[in-house]
Structure 1
């Protein structure tokens, strides 16, 4: 910005000196005005860069984000209909995080209150599918609770 202004002042002074040297005094005012207008237009363009409205997202960007969301949702539904090991590995940590964020309960602060709130919110049956301490370490290949249980858990989290 300082460089632009310094160059502008030099341009105006240079044009005035050139007009005086060439004895074209009748063009002095017009030449200085044109030089000043060029400098002011460049200053305006320089200052206006940060004020331009952000370009709207391309439709491809919006479509890509929608496709990613849809793929994530489909994967989550597949995990809910899969085995207990998949539920424990993928869905239980996500649901436990959402439970902690929604209720503000932290297992590290008060484990008894954490579990009591979970049982009150979800009921004993659904809490067992959200409880982060109920993970089987044996890689259980029995079926998970299914899509209906996931839907019910998410519905209860939204109601808080």
Structure 2
């Protein structure tokens, strides 16, 4: 864009210099008008071409972003229905971070307040699936709480 504006400016200056150098100085206005018109058309063409070029990738970026989000969501749901080990490894840390960000409670500051606010928000049954300290060391055969529990936890986090 800067190059086009600079070229347009030089075109107008050049047209006026040529008109001044010529024998008929009445043409200065005509040359300057043509140079300005060409400059304005060049800038307009550049802006409309740039606008179209930016719109297409934005649509592709939005579609790609939606595909990635859908893929991540499918993986999260499948982990919610897998074993407790999968839940503890992948979902529990994410849910605990979301809980800390939503409530402003930090586990390291006051553990009692952290656990109390978790039980108040989720209830004892759901809090055990969010609590970052409740990781099972041997949960390979135990099943995860499932999609319904994940949905309920996420809904409660949204309400904050």
Q: Name the TM tier (shorter chain).
A: 0.7 to 0.9
Q: TM-score, normalised by structure 1?
A: 0.76
TM-score (norm 2): 0.76
Unpaired runs of 5+ in structure 2? none
Measured against aligned partners, the alpha-carbon deviations of 1:115-134 in whole angstroms (never above 9, x if no partner) come to 11001111112111100111
Distance 1:41 1:89 in 2: 60
Secondary structure at 1:105 match in 2: coil
Distance in 2 (CA, whole Å) between partners of 1:9 and 1:63 is 45
Say if 1:36 and 1:68 are closer, same or farther in 2 by CA, change over 3 A: closer
Contact 2:8 2:35 in 1 (8 A): no
Name the residue aligned to 2:95.
95
CA distance 1:121–1:25, shift in 2 (3 Å)? closer
Q: Structure 1 residues 28, 153: CA separation in 2 closer, same or farther (over 3 Å shift)?
A: closer
For 1:66, the equivalent position in structure 2 comes to 66
What residue number does 1:109 align with? Answer: 109
Q: Which moved more, 1:62-71 or 1:88-97?
A: 62-71
Query: What's the counterpart of residue 10 of structure 2?
Result: 7
The one-character-per-residue Cα deviations of 1:83-115 (angstroms, maximum 9, x if unpaired) are 110000110011111111111111122221111
Inter-partner Cα distance in structure 2 for 1:152 and 1:29? 74
- Larger helix percent: 2
When residues 119 and 28 of structure 1 are mapped into structure 2, their CA distance, relative to the original with a 3 A threshold, is closer
Contact 1:84–1:140 at 8 Å: present in 2 too?
yes
Give the CA RMSD over aligned residues: 3.1
Aligned length, in residue pairs: 154
Deviates more, 1:65-74 or 1:145-154: 65-74
The answer (yes or no) to whether the contact 2:105–2:114 under 8 Å persists in 1 is: yes
